[in-house]
Structure 1
Amino acid sequence: MLQAFTAGLLLITVSELGDKTFFIAFILAIKYSRKLVFSGVMAALVAMTVISVLVGQVVSLLPRSYIHYAAIILFIGFGLKLLHEASQMPNKSDRNEAQATAALLDRSQNRTSIGVLIEAFVLTFLAEWGDRTQIATITLAASNNSLGVTAGAILGHGICTAIAVVGGRLIAGRISERTVTAIGGCLFLIFAAVSLFENI
């Protein structure tokens, strides 16, 4: 369980720093209550994590050897994809995508608490659907302890969301998306190597 918890925590923390949902939380927190934004974003991320782990449990009904090698292939694929994306990125952090997403919404200055919560939840849930961290969580849950993966992933999301809401401006200004993406790619490759080594 500890291994699954650590894998979930590291995977989510590294992958989500600088991701779309990170900047969505950051941008919303500039205009609205940080507590409300944190609550709405975390509710969406917890819901997405639970869904991903449940899907992973269904996948786990397949023969274990299939799951094991599928996980290795997915980790290698994601790792190489992220490293390729990092090589194509400029060195500066690019927040335009998240800013454009937030700008599409016509928000009034006097937003109700429920309105802020719903906005944060919906934006985050839609941004995470089909994202690499969702697929990685499914893969981890299929081959590891589901409670450990769930707890680790939720804690990782909580750490990233707290950083985005409280100190997003400082982090975003000092850590480029390229660096974060490259670290995420390396982490996926490390997971692939560890999984392969364990099988040997």
Structure 2
Amino acid sequence: MSSSIVQGLTKSLAMTVLSEIGDKTFFAAAILAMRHPRKLVFAGCMVALTVMCILSALLGWAAPNLISRKWTHHITTILFLGFGIWSLWDAFNEGESEELAEVEAKLDADFKANTGAKGKNKAVISKKQKRPFLTQLFSPIFLKAFSITFFGEWGDKSQLATIGLAADENPFGVVLGGIIGQALCTTAAVVGGKSLATQISERIVALFGGVLFIVFGIQSFLSTVES
């Protein structure tokens, strides 16, 4: 494995783990795994995160072909420094477990709505005729985990950081590191459940994440731009 792939993998892995632990999608996976089969929740979350990681890396890889390498390098540097300051701000100014409470409230409302709808429609229609096309191919739980994770990650800090990282590092290494990091975080969320989520200090994670982003930003600023 070449040094450029290893460097991209290492940076992506560290960034992903520190960005995703305590994130909304982490809490969503933890809560869903308490109510539904863990294998389906894990599969839905991982497929969504893998697709998102590949899409983000492709955007980052394509960026130097659309904009000059010098400009993509400078934009990446600004992104890392900006995300570092943002994470440090969150660490010192936001309360603990706010995201957990927010995600739990949303999923509770959704769970109650679905349960009520199922009770009303049970005696009226047969299951297979009324189920949408996608739910005939995939489990509704898989689709729920996929959609919550995919749209929760879209435009998130970790997605934008992955785009910036892939523009500056080996995209294959960035994808590989991102998928490994997402797998570790999702496994922890699904296996540990809500008990693990409540024990995680969001402030400490945000602090370490902020420091890591700033280190990446400084390294990017000091490195030379390849022509």
Q: 1:46 maps to what in 2?
A: 50
1:67 aligns with 2:92: no
Quick one: which amino acid aligns to residue 93 of structure 1?
Answer: S
Secondary structure at the residue paired with 1:130?
coil
TM-score (norm 1): 0.93
Aligned counterpart for 1:4 among listed residues 8, 17, 22? 8
* TM-aligned CA distance change 1:162 to 1:99, over 3 Å: same
Superposed displacement of residue 197, structure 1: 2.7
1:55 aligns with 2:59: yes
Q: 2:152 maps to what in 1?
A: 127
1:108 aligns with 2:110: no
The answer to whether the 8 A contact 2:31-2:194 is kept is no
Q: 2:124 maps to what in 1?
A: none
Q: 1:14 maps to what in 2?
A: 18
Segments of 5+ residues of structure 1 without an aligned counterpart are none
Same amino acid, percent of matched pairs? 41
Taking the aligned partners of 1:186 and 1:87, their CA distance within structure 2 comes to 13
Superposed displacement of residue 130, structure 1: 0.3
CA deviations on 1:96-150 (whole Å, 9 max, x unpaired) are 121123123233399x870100000001111001000000000011111111000
The answer to whether the 8 A contact 1:93-1:178 is kept is no
The answer to whether the 8 A contact 2:17-2:185 is kept is yes
Taking the aligned partners of 1:104 and 1:45, their CA distance within structure 2 comes to 24
Q: 1:167 maps to what in 2?
A: 192
Aligned counterpart for 1:140 among listed residues 162, 165, 177? 165
TM-score (norm 2): 0.82
Quick one: which amino acid aligns to residue 64 of structure 2?
Answer: S
Q: Count residues with an aligned counterpart.
A: 198
Superposed displacement of residue 172, structure 1: 2.1
Quick one: which amino acid aligns to residue 128 of structure 1?
Answer: E
1:189 aligns with 2:189: no
Q: Which runs of 4+ in 1 moved over 3 A?
A: 107-110
The answer to whether the 8 A contact 2:30-2:190 is kept is yes
Taking the aligned partners of 2:19 and 2:40, their CA distance within structure 1 comes to 23
Taking the aligned partners of 1:141 and 1:102, their CA distance within structure 2 comes to 33
Quick one: which amino acid aligns to residue 68 of structure 1?
Answer: H
Taking the aligned partners of 2:200 and 2:70, their CA distance within structure 1 comes to 38
Superposed displacement of residue 170, structure 1: 3.9
Q: Which has the larger radius of gyration?
A: 2
The answer to whether the 8 A contact 1:25-1:165 is kept is yes
Superposed displacement of residue 2, structure 1: 0.2
Taking the aligned partners of 1:161 and 1:171, their CA distance within structure 2 comes to 12
Taking the aligned partners of 1:128 and 1:197, their CA distance within structure 2 comes to 30
Q: 2:27 maps to what in 1?
A: 23
